[in-house]
Amino acid sequence: MENPYMRKKEPERVRRALLDQAARLAVEQGLAAVTVQAVAAAAGVTKGGFMHHFPSKQALVDAVFAELLETLDRDLDARIAADPEPHGSFTRAYLLSVFDMTPPQSGGHWAALYVSMLADADLRALWARWYEARLDRHRTTDEGVQLAAVRAAADGIWLADLTGAPLAERNGLRSLLLDMTRATR
């Protein structure tokens, strides 16, 4: 066994391993499996090493969830930048992101964390702040009841996918909702 006092310290690598292992455990076994001990062991560090980077399990889960939101931000921004029509561009990007997610029943990458958000008040608050900030950012292009209805439908599709509920006419629904984002203002 390597002596930890002689080992080169790589704080960013350790932090990354803790985040990756927490996400893996959450996806494979659920958020309850994400314990300080389990994540530290999976990342190959001591509990003290864990606590050096994250003061608690909740801080780690919040950091993993924040990374998910950053990934979603990048995806949405890329879709918006590629959209030639400004009106409804955020709503279209949001809708297409939902339709392009891997369904969790086939091993969706972040499914357990998304489902956990529904039961965890702290994660819901993070999501709500992120969503409100995105709506504020796109208020000039994505305001109105019709676009709000499309985003609400996207949330329903996202929840149906997360729970494995069958969604009839998926392609037709996608086309209809996309058409609604391009309808007259």
114 or 37, which is more confident?
37
Q: Does the structure show a pLDDT above 60 at 44?
A: yes
* Choice between 77 and 27, residue whose per-residue pLDDT is larger: 77
- Which residues, 6 or more positions from 66, have their beta carbon under 8 angstroms from its beta carbon? 126
Whether the predicted pLDDT of 183 surpasses 80: no
Q: Which homologous superfamily is 1-55 in?
A: Homeodomain-like (1.10.10.60)
Whether the CA torsion 155, 103, 116, 16 is positive or negative: it is: negative
Half-sphere exposure of 179 (CA within 13 A, CB side): 6
Give the 3-state secondary structure of the chain: CCCCCCCCCCHHHHHHHHHHHHHHHHHHHCHHHCCHHHHHHHHCCCHHHHHHHCCCHHHHHHHHHHHHHHHHHHHHHHHHHHCCCCCCHHHHHHHHHHHHCCCHHHCCCCHHHHHHHHHCHHHHHHHHHHHHHHHHHCHHHHCCHHHHHHHHHHHHHHHHHHHCCCCCCHHHHHHHHHHHHHCCC
Q: Give pLDDT, residue 102.
A: 60
pLDDT higher than threshold 90 for residue 32: no
User: What are the boundaries of each domain within the chain?
Assistant: 1-55, 62-182
Q: How far apart are CA 6 and CA 22, in angstroms?
A: 26
Has residue 92 got a pLDDT over 50? yes
What is the model's pTM?
0.79
The pLDDT tens digits of the residues spanning 107-143 come to 455 566 677 777 788 888 989 999 999 999 999 999 9
The pLDDT score that the predictor gives to residue 18 is 94
Q: Is the model's pLDDT at 146 over the cut of 80?
A: yes
Average pLDDT over residues 71-87: 95
